[in-house]
Structures are given as structure tokens and as C-alpha cells.
């Protein structure tokens, strides 16, 4: 499980969320068997989604982050609930490209740099809120920062990292999101800039043994910070056979009958957890019959 904490400055002008998502991204890699650069990209987005999910107000609310940048990894999508539990996948989980000029995994090269980041907040009723911004870099953290500045007008610093070991397992993963709240002045801005510029990469701090509490307090150093709360979060997929059946039933009666007669069954695979659900011929025919019965009769 991961650990997610929320801390605030003494004057209430800055709040920081920090997450050690090593176990969550490790589970992501185990499920998808992704290459190192895709694990890094998807793991960063998963970490951001978990943090942003925990910022939602109500039970049953969810947030979806999607990056479509035209890179070989295809679309990268992460979904989190209001507790911070999250799931993610990339269209193409195995991508092999050279390291970037700094000798690091080329996340923006895998994701692409020409495209959009979209954020969907679903409160479980009515139309969800959708925000869409051009990618700032394809490195994910910069794109999240740009989203908050552009769509929500909230000054934000976001740092995300995933360190993949030589055997492709996840050695460290995590991130923090620091926001200045309404009323923050030049003193708070200057202190935040000073702190974050001095901080090493997130994965280095986690490898050095820093806890999420220590990470957040370091980001808010000099501002009399205190921890507000902490929670455990995990990689969690909420797919069920019932939901898959509902998706299958959205097809037309004719399509269901063709599938039943030609294939003898239907098999659906969840993008997020890779679980497979099989629907035999008889069930497909029953779905088709129900759809036909529900159609209005022609005069």
C-alpha cells in the first residue's frame, strides 16, 4: 500500500500532499508487465491521480487523468476515487526508446509532446467537469502544474518520479503537490520557490528513506507546517462482471446474435487489471432477446 499525507503551513496559506506510491506503481508494473519507460510514465500519472483523487470532497466521486501526446505509448489513463485509490494503463505497455540526453528514461518521448492532458471530475450525478489543456512537456508533472495554473488558476508545484530497477521492478515512486491558497503573498511564494528548487528528485528522497510526512514538511520548511491527516492508498480496480455485462449489453441485438453464433462466446478484458470475463453463447442470446423485447413495436 501507499501512504498519502496532507500538510499545511502555519498560516494556512499553503497546503502540500505527499505520496509514497512505490507499492502502487509496483502493482501497476506487475499487472501490465510494462517496459521501464512506460512504467515511469504511467506510474507518474497514477501518482498524480491518487493525490488529486484525495482532494475530492464526496464519497463516490472520482477523477480521471488522461494524456494523449502522440507518442508510441499511446494514450495513458489513470483513475482515482475520493479515497486516493487509483488504477492506470497505457495503450501500448511495452515501448523501447533511447534514454533522453540526460541519461534518464525518456518519458516525454514515450508519451509524446504534442497533445492534450484532460481531467474529468465525476461527482456521480449530472455532467462531470472536464478540463483540457495542451501538454506542457509530456513529462507529466509539468503538465499537471500547467493544468492547475490554466484551468483552475491555482499556483501549484507538482513533482513526480518513478525509479525502475534493472530487473524492471519499481525501486521507488512517489510525488508531492504543493498549492498556494487564496491570500498567499510574496513571502509564501518566495519560500515555496526556495524550498522546491532546493529539493532533490522525489525518488532520491524516497530511496534516502524520507517518509511522505518528511517530504511534505520539507516542501513547506520555514512556514511552520503541520500534518493534517494521513491515509493508506492502493492500486485498486473496481471492475465487476456486472459492469462488463452492462457494457456488452450496450451493443445492438444483431451484433450480440452474430457474436453468439460465430464466436460461441464473448470475452472482455479490463484495461486496468487485465481480468477477463467470459459470456457464453446462451447469455449473449438472452441479452439480444431482452434488447429486442425492449424495442418499440413498429405500427
The predicted structure's pLDDT at residue 59 = 81
Mean pLDDT of 20-37: 97
The predicted structure's pLDDT at residue 225 = 96
The predicted structure's pLDDT at residue 299 = 53
Mean pLDDT of 28-55: 97
Judge whether residue 176 has pLDDT over 90.
Answer: yes
The predicted structure's pLDDT at residue 161 = 97
Burial of residue 16 (CB within 10 Å: 0-12, 13-18, 19+) is: buried
Judge whether residue 15 has pLDDT over 60.
Answer: yes
φ, ψ (nearest 5 deg) of residue 132: -140, 125
Dist. CA 279–CA 201, nearest whole Å: 47
pLDDT-based confidence at residue 165 (cuts at 50, 70, 90)? very high
Judge whether residue 274 has pLDDT over 70.
Answer: yes
* Sign (positive or negative) of CA dihedral 192, 193, 195, 201: positive
pLDDT digits over 60-114, tens only?
Answer: 899 999 999 999 999 999 999 999 999 999 999 999 999 999 999 999 999 999 9
Distances, alpha carbon 145 to alpha carbons 20, 55, 88, 280, in Å: 19, 15, 20, 47
The predicted structure's pLDDT at residue 297 = 59
Dist. CA 280–CA 259, nearest whole Å: 10
pLDDT-based confidence at residue 298 (cuts at 50, 70, 90)? low
What's the whole-number average pLDDT of the chain? 94
Using a pLDDT cut of 90, give the percent of the chain over it.
85
For the whole prediction, is pTM greater than 0.85?
yes
pLDDT-based confidence at residue 265 (cuts at 50, 70, 90)? very high
> Residue 70 is placed in which grid cell?
502522440
The predicted structure's pLDDT at residue 183 = 86
Helix extents (H) in the chain: 22-32, 36-54, 107-111, 141-151, 186-198, 202-207, 212-219, 241-249, 253-262, 281-294
pLDDT digits over 186-234, tens only?
Answer: 999 999 999 999 999 999 999 999 999 999 999 999 999 999 999 999 9
The predicted structure's pLDDT at residue 207 = 96
Amino acid at each position: 500500500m501507499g501512504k498519502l499525507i496532507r500538510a499545511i503551513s502555519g498560516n494556512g496559506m499553503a497546503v502540500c500532499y505527499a505520496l509514497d506510491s512505490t507499492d502502487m506503481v509496483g502493482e501497476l508494473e506487475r499487472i501490465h508487465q510494462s517496459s521501464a519507460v512506460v512504467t515511469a510514465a504511467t506510474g507518474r500519472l497514477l501518482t498524480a491521480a491518487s493525490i488529486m483523487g484525495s482532494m475530492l470532497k464526496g464519497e463516490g466521486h472520482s477523477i480521471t487523468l488522461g494524456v494523449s501526446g502522440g507518442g508510441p505509448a499511446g494514450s495513458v489513463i489513470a483513475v482515482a476515487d475520493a479515497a486516493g485509490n487509483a488504477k492506470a494503463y497505457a495503450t501500448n505497455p511495452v515501448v523501447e526508446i533511447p534514454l533522453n540526453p540526460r541519461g534518464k528514461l525518456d518519458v516525454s518521448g514515450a508519451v509524446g509532446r504534442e497533445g492534450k492532458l484532460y481531467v474529468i471530475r465525476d461527482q456521480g450525478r449530472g455532467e462531470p467537469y472536464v478540463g483540457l489543456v495542451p501538454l506542457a512537456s509530456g513529462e507529466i508533472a509539468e503538465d499537471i502544474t500547467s493544468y492547475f495554473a490554466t484551468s483552475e488558476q491555482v499556483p501549484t508545484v507538482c513533482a513526480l518520479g518513478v525509479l525502475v530497477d534493472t530487473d524492471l521492478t519499481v525501486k521507488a515512486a512517489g510525488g508531492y503537490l504543493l498549492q498556494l491558497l487564496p491570500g498567499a503573498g510574496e513571502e509564501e511564494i518566495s519560500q515555496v520557490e526556495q524550498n522546491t528548487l532546493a529539493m532533490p528528485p522525489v525518488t532520491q528522497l524516497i530511496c534516502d528513506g524520507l517518509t511522505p510526512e518528511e517530504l511534505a514538511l520539507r516542501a513547506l520548511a520555514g512556514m511552520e507546517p503541520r500534518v493534517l491527516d494521513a491515509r493508506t492508498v492502493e492500486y485498486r480496480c473496481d471492475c465487476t462482471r456486472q459492469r462488463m455485462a452492462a457494457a456488452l449489453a450496450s451493443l445492438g441485438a444483431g451484433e450480440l446474435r452474430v457474436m453468439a453464433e460465430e464466436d460461441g462466446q464473448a470475452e472482455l478484458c479490463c484495461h486496468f487489471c487485465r481480468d477477463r470475463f467470459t459470456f457464453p453463447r446462451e447469455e449473449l442470446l438472452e441479452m439480444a432477446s431482452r434488447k429486442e423485447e425492449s424495442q418499440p413495436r413498429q405500427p
